[in-house]
Amino acid sequence: MKKLAAGNWKMNGTKASLAEVAALLSAHGQPACEMLLCPPATLIAAMAEAAQGTALKVGAQDCHPKPQGAHTGDISAAILKDAGASHVILGHSERRTDHGETDDLVRAKAEAVVDAGLVAIVCIGETEAERDAGKTLAVIGTQLDGSIPMGATAANLVVAYEPVWAIGTGRTPTLSEIAEVHSFLRGRLRGLIGDEAETVRILYGGSVKPSNAVEIFAVPHVDGALVGGASLKAVDFGAIVEALSAA
C-alpha cells in the first residue's frame, strides 16, 4: 500500500498561495508516497490545474451529503469532483465542534463521496478530557463504527486518527500511545470490513512537523499523516513527504 501525506489548509490560502504548490512540485515532484493537498474550496480548481500531470492530488475539506439541490452555501461531492478533487476530508474535529457534525452525518457525507467516485478521509479522535478519563479507545471505536461508509474499501476510504488536543497545539501523543490507537483501529476495521482492512490507510494527524515526522512514521500501522499547519509551507510539507517516502 502506498502511504499518504495529506495536507489540510483549513481556512487558509488565496491564489497567491499557489506559489507554495509550485515550490512543492519543483522540489518534491516524484515522491514515493501519495501526496495530497486540501485547500479551501475556492482554490480546488486552480490547484488541480497546477497539479495536472504531477504526483500531487487535490482534495476538499467537507461536502454536503446530497448530490445537488436547494442547499445554499453547500458543495456536493459531485461538484468537488468536477472542480478536480479526488479526496474529501470528512468529520474533522473542527467540523464536529464548529458545526455539530455527528457520526451519522459524517457517514452520510462519506457515502456521498464514495458514490461520487472519490476517496473519503474520515477523521476521528478523542478530546483531552476523554483521554484523561481513559476513554480513548471506546470513543474512537464508536466514531469509527458510526462514521465509515457502507461498502468501504482500501480504495475509497482513508481513516485519520487525530486526537483533538493535538491539533494545532504542538503537542502529540507518545509514540506508544499512537501505536496503541493505530493497532486498535486496524483490528476494529478488520471487524467491520474484513481483510480489506489490512490495506486501508490509517493516518496520524495532530502537530505533525518535519522534526517529529520520522519517528511518527516508524510507528506500526501509521500509513501516513494528515497535516494542518505544516502543510501551508512547501518546505515543511516537502520535508514531511520525504520522511514518509523514506519510511
* Residue placing its CB nearer to ligand PEP in the complex, 78 or 232: 232
Listed residue (47, 145, 35, 147) closest to 92, CA to CA? 147
Q: How far is the CB of 225 from ligand PEP (least distance, A)?
A: 8
Q: How far is the CB of 11 from ligand PEP (least distance, A)?
A: 11
* Residue 229 interacts with ligand PEP (CB under 6 A): yes or no: yes
Q: Which of 13, 125, 228, 238 binds ligand PEP (CB under 6 A)?
A: 228
Q: How far is the CB of 207 from ligand PEP (least distance, A)?
A: 4
Query: Could you confirm whether 99 is annotated as catalytic?
Result: no
- Cα–Cα–Cα angle for 88, 120, 25, rounded to 5 degrees: 55
Pairing of strands 157-161, 119-124: parallel
From CA 82, how far away is CA 50, in angstroms rounded? 15
From the list 28, 64, 87, 92, the catalytic residue is 92
Cβ-based burial of 136 (10 A; exposed 0-12, middle 13-18, buried ≥19): buried
* Residue 88 interacts with ligand PEP (CB under 6 A): yes or no: no
- Tell me which amino acid residue 191 is: G
Q: Which of 56, 167, 185, 240 binds ligand PEP (CB under 6 A)?
A: 167
Distances in Å between the Cα of 180 and the Cα atoms of 94, 150, 174, 176, 184 are 24, 26, 10, 6, 6
Q: Is 30 helix (H, G, I), strand (E, B) or coil?
A: coil
For ligand PEP, how many residues bind (rule: CB under 6 A)? 13
Q: Using CB under 6 A, which residues numbered 8 to 47 contact ligand PEP?
A: 8
Q: How far is the CB of 213 from ligand PEP (least distance, A)?
A: 11
* Residue placing its CB nearer to ligand PEP in the complex, 206 or 224: 206
Contact characters 121-160, ligand PEP, x per CB under 6 A: ----------------------------------------
* Residue 61 interacts with ligand PEP (CB under 6 A): yes or no: no
Given a contact cutoff of 8 angstroms between Cβ atoms, the answer to whether 77 and 115 are in contact is yes
Given a contact cutoff of 8 angstroms between Cβ atoms, the answer to whether 1 and 154 are in contact is yes
Cβ-based burial of 86 (10 A; exposed 0-12, middle 13-18, buried ≥19): middle
Query: Could you confirm whether 92 is annotated as catalytic?
Result: yes
From the list 162, 182, 221, 242, the catalytic residue is 162
Joined grid coordinates for residue 120: 473519503
Q: How far is the CB of 206 from ligand PEP (least distance, A)?
A: 5
Active site residues: 92, 162
- Residues forming the site for ligand PEP (CB under 6 A): 8, 162, 167-168, 205-208, 226-230
